[in-house]
């Protein structure tokens, strides 16, 4: 049995906390607000973010992040990427040097353009056991025991094996990888493509258009990942293609849902409330990571000299006032070229 702290009590953090607790581990589930903690303790449920899932008795909700993290052998960072550095900086110095620190968030920092594990290496320099968990998975399905396959990646294969064994269960199949950059970049970029797929579906453009966006979106993921040194098999595996298909087609996809609303005619400004603006904004709304990561991935692509037209088009819709149908016209009217 391991002592585990999950930092961030959103849907994904809560689902993984439940999986770990059912596996016999003692888990502290950390939330920002005292009223959220009190509600989880009283009702044994996270009704804000994951209603209908009972919290096992071995989960202890808490708002004492540093205390929980400092006393744990394993720490999961489950904070949205835009808030992750601010949330983790006070915690990084208290972590044990032999702790395992795992990012379960799909994102790239907007200012530094660092992946989540690169950011964690900065804020917790004493910790050498860094890993990322990613792949095609919806929190509700994981929490309810639906069959899911994901990837645990670490540069040290011994660490990835440890994380693999920690999470593996009867319904959660975990593969391992040493391609941390590929897993993280694919996980961040696919959210942006999913917004485009949602916009396409919201405009009623049909299944063929969605298939084209997924396929060309995969090409963009591959260009970015391969330029960053990722392995091709990662991009075409669970963390890349698998997660891209799920996020672009699944009804539980937050990013696709946001795109659908834009395609249906809602203004981007009017949808802004779907994501909290501070770590402690407890509205119960999920965070669509693709909103902030659209800019991050576009800037990263520009820095690396990688062409990502779908990502660029989504940015123009989200941040430059371009109408939804302009995204489609822009992509269709690009210069004709060979597929590969």
Tens-place pLDDT, residues 296-315: 999 999 999 999 999 999 99
Distance CA(31)–CA(162), nearest Å, equals: 26
Q: Average per-residue pLDDT in the chain? A: 94
Catalytic site positions: 190
Strand partners, 6: 29, 76
- Phi, then psi, of 339 in degrees rounded to 5: -65, -40
pLDDT at 248 over 60: yes
Distance CA(10)–CA(7), nearest Å, equals: 9
Token digits of residue 120:
């964690």
pTM for this prediction: 0.93
pLDDT at 278 over 50: no
Q: Which residues contact 188 (CB under 8 A, 6 or more apart)?
A: 81, 106, 107, 108, 115, 289, 293, 296, 297
Q: What is the mean pLDDT of residues 250-270?
A: 93
DSSP code of residue 24: T
pLDDT exceeding 70 applies to what percent of the chain? Answer: 95
Token digits of residue 228:
């960053």
Name the pLDDT band for 85 (thresholds 50, 70, 90): very high
Tens-place pLDDT, residues 32-78: 999 999 999 999 999 999 999 999 999 999 999 999 999 999 999 99
Name the pLDDT band for 286 (thresholds 50, 70, 90): low
pLDDT at 26 over 50: yes
Is the CB of residue 285 less than 8 Å from the CB of residue 273?
Answer: yes
Neighbour tally for 319: CB within 10 Å:
13
Is the CB of residue 290 less than 8 Å from the CB of residue 258?
Answer: yes
Tens-place pLDDT, residues 91-126: 999 999 999 999 999 999 999 999 999 999 999 999
Token digits of residue 153:
């990646």
Residue ranges of domains in the chain, CATH in brackets: 3-178 (3.40.50.720), 188-332 (1.10.1040.10)
């Amino acid at each position: 049995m391991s002592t585990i702290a999950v930092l961030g009590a959103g849907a994904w953090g809560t689902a993984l906390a439940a999986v770990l607790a059912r596996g016999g581990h003692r888990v502290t589930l950390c939330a920002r607000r005292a009223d959220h903690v009190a509600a989880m303790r009283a009702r044994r449920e996270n009704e804000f973010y994951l209603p209908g899932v009972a919290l096992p008795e071995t989960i202890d909700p808490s708002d004492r992040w540093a205390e929980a993290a400092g006393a744990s052998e394993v720490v999961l960072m489950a904070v949205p990427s835009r808030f992750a550095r601010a949330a983790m900086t006070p915690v990084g110095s208290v972590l044990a040097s032999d702790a395992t620190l795992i990012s379960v968030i799909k994102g790239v920092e907007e200012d530094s353009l660092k992946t989540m594990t690169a950011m964690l290496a900065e804020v917790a320099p004493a910790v050498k056991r860094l890993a990322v968990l990613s792949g095609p998975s919806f929190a509700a399905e994981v929490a309810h025991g639906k069959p899911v396959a994901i990837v645990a990646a670490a540069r040290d294969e011994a660490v990835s094996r440890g994380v693999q064994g920690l999470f593996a269960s009867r319904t959660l199949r975990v593969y391992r990888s040493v391609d941390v950059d590929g897993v993280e970049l694919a996980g961040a970029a696919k959210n942006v493509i999913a917004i485009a797929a949602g916009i396409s579906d919201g405009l009623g453009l049909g299944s063929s258009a969605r298939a084209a966006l997924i396929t060309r979106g995969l090409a963009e993921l591959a260009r970015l990942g391969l330029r960053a040194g990722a392995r091709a098999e990662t991009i075409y595996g669970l963390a890349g293609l698998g997660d891209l298909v799920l996020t672009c087609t699944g009804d539980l996809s937050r990013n696709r849902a946001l795109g659908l609303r834009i395609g249906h005619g809602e203004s981007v400004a009017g949808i802004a409330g779907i994501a909290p603006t501070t770590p402690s904004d407890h509205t119960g709304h999920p965070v669509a990571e693709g909103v902030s990561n659209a800019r991050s991935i576009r800037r990263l692509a520009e820095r690396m000299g990688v062409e990502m037209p779908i990502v660029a088009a989504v940015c123009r819709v989200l941040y430059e006032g371009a109408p939804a149908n302009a995204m489609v016209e822009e992509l269709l009217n690009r210069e004709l070229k060979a597929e590969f």
